[in-house]
């Protein structure tokens, strides 16, 4: 275990041992901030639990929502495209907001937005109101998505793989729980889809609580102390022997678009997000159209999402110990291709197997988050790369769920949509291998 941690530290961090506390004494830092670190871990886990229930709870009740709001298949496809659109539009603002208010304050505001959006959308009235409430919740998810790798890199620089695995596991747990229990809870509470969707606001409200003190305390430290940390991170790297404070070129933002690795990671993120949102939005409907009962279809989606609980913890830890993450990308892509083929050939007969395989394939998400932390050396670099990769990636993913809805409505079956999903898995694997190469965006952006 100690050997594993040591190798993880050498692969994922800037030089952390010299980091000082706000008080200035590195020996007293762990003791002085012990309560804050523990609270931060709790806050990260609770925030991660809330990053997908807004989406998978809707997927489980999509047919009821369509009937209740009078949606066509194309409009429902548009609805499943709203998450990546919001993530792209609002996610790009996260680094700027974090610089001004502090990452903790922004994540706290994100949890508040999720709570309000989940409470409002079932009762807003009509499709437009439902979309507006969803957009509010997704805005909170978007900024938290981008800032999680930043918070991990900054506060746990020697545990990037472990902490990424922890919050990815919590994210997968929240995703699968929403898929599994939304339908049974809705039935137990009288069968109203509005109640079934609104219940998830309670979990989001619980996530606000640990971020309130973190927003205040970390926000204070995020001005001078954070700037000093970033100067320490940036200063020695271009000129290790020069201890004079020369903030020139390194103080400027990276020209991230010059990095091939950043583009490869953005496309990989976008294609895996396309697959994930198609799965979350449409997989229960695929099974229901094949004759699977609604509750079982929800459980199958839950199984798919639940595969991310153990694997989201294991994959980042394995990835940080490998010089190249390409083999993991290839394994995940192979599982996805077999799963889509199975959904086409025997959707009901092998339903549990296909759900398991697609759950493994969806673990490209924690792998992408891990590579965000590995492909940049500094906290500032991670913030830029995370915003660029996620915002660009989510823009790429927008047409996928909508196109699946259009193909489904006009072809009258799932053959063409499944062929599209399988076809997209091939370029996803190629760019994932390219993004997994051992290099950093700082090196490429300054060439």
- Whole-model pTM: value is 0.69
- Residue 10's contacts (CB-CB under 8 Å, 6 or more residues apart) are none
Scan for tokens 């549990």, then name that residue. 352
Name the nearest CA neighbour of 107 among 8, 194, 210, 14.
Answer: 210
Q: Roughly what angle, to the nearest 10 degrees, separates helices 160-188 and 2-12?
A: 100
DSSP notation for 176-208: HHHHHHHHHHHHHTTS-HHHHHHTTHHHHHHHH
Of 446, 366, 45, 420, whose CA–CA distance to 207 is shortest? 45
CA distance 53 to 305: 11
Distances (CA, A) of 311 to 39, 45, 180, 329, 360: 25, 16, 18, 13, 8
User: Which residues, at least 6 apart from 192, have a Cβ–Cβ distance to it below 8 Å?
Assistant: 186
Q: In terms of Cα–Cα distance, which of 100, 113, 178 is closest to 144?
A: 113
User: Which residue bears the tokens 């291709």?
Assistant: 337
- How far is it, in rounded angstroms, from Cα 106 to Cα 84? 19
| pLDDT tens digits in sequence order for the chain, 447 residues long | 333 433 343 344 444 444 443 334 444 344 344 777 888 899 999 999 999 899 888 877 888 888 888 877 667 767 777 787 888 888 888 888 888 888 889 999 999 999 999 999 999 878 888 889 999 999 999 999 888 888 888 888 878 778 888 888 888 888 878 878 888 899 998 889 999 999 999 999 999 999 998 777 544 433 333 443 444 444 444 444 434 333 334 445 678 888 999 999 999 999 998 998 888 778 888 998 999 887 788 788 888 878 877 888 889 889 988 989 999 999 999 999 999 999 999 999 999 999 999 999 989 988 998 899 889 888 778 888 988 998 899 889 888 887 888 898 888 889 999 999 999 999 999 999 999 999 889 888 776
Spatial separation of the C-alpha atoms in residues 14 and 179, rounded to whole Å? 38
SS3 439: coil
Quick check: 115 and 201 in contact, CB under 8 A?
yes
Whether residue 65 contacts residue 121, with contact meaning beta carbons closer than 8 Å, is answered with: no
Residue 67 exposed, middle or buried by CB count within 10 Å (0-12, 13-18, 19+):
exposed
For position 22, what pLDDT does the model report?
A: 37
Instruction: Give the Cα separation of 196 and 258 in Å (integer).
Output: 46
pLDDT at residue 21, as a whole number: 38
DSSP state letter for 365 = H
Contact between 147 and 90 (Cβ < 8 Å) = no
- CA dist., res. 403 & res. 397, Å (int): 11
């Amino acid at each position: 275990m100690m050997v594993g941690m040591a190798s993880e530290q050498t692969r994922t961090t800037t030089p952390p041992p010299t980091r000082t506390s706000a008080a200035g004494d590195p020996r007293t830092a762990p003791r002085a901030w012990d309560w804050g670190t523990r609270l931060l871990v709790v806050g990260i886990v609770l925030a991660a639990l809330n990053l997908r229930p807004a989406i998978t709870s809707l997927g489980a009740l999509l047919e009821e929502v369509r009937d209740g709001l009078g949606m066509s298949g194309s409009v429902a496809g548009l609805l499943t495209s709203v998450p990546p659109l919001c993530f792209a539009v609002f996610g790009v603002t996260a680094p700027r907001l974090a610089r001004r208010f502090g990452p903790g304050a922004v994540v706290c505001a994100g949890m508040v937005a999720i709570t309000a959006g989940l409470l409002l959308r079932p009762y807003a009235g009509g499709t437009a109101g439902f979309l507006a409430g969803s957009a509010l919740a997704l805005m909170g998810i978007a900024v938290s998505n981008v800032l999680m790798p930043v918070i991990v890199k900054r506060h746990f620089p020697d545990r990037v793989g472990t902490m990424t695995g922890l919050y990815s596991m919590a994210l997968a747990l929240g995703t699968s729980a929403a898929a599994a229990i939304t339908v049974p809870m809705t039935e137990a509470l009288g069968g109203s889809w509005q109640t079934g969707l609104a219940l998830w606001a309670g979990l989001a409200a619980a996530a606000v609580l640990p971020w309130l003190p973190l927003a205040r305390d970390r926000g204070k430290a995020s001005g001078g102390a954070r700037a000093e940390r970033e100067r320490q991170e940036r200063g020695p790297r271009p000129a290790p022997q020069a201890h004079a404070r020369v903030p020139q070129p390194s103080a400027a933002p990276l020209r991230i678009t010059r990095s091939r690795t950043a583009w490869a990671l953005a496309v990989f993120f976008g294609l895996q997000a396309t697959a994930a949102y198609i799965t979350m939005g449409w997989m229960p409907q695929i099974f229901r159209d094949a004759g699977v009962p609604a509750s079982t279809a929800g459980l199958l989606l839950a199984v798919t999402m639940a595969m991310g609980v153990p694997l989201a913890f294991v994959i980042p830890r394995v990835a940080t110990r490998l010089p190249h993450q390409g083999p993991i990308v290839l394994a995940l892509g192979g599982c996805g291709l077999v799963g889509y083929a199975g959904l086409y050939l025997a959707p009901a007969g092998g339903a549990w197997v296909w759900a398991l395989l697609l759950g493994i394939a969806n673990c490209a998400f924690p792998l992408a988050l891990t590579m965000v932390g590995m492909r940049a050396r500094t906290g500032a670099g991670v913030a830029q790369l995370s915003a660029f990769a996620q915002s660009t990636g989510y823009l790429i993913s927008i047409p996928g769920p909508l196109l699946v809805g259009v193909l489904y409505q006009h072809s009258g079956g799932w053959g063409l949509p499944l062929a599209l999903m399988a076809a997209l898995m091939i370029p996803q694997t190629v760019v994932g291998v390219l993004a997994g190469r051992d290099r950093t965006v700082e090196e490429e952006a300054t060439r």
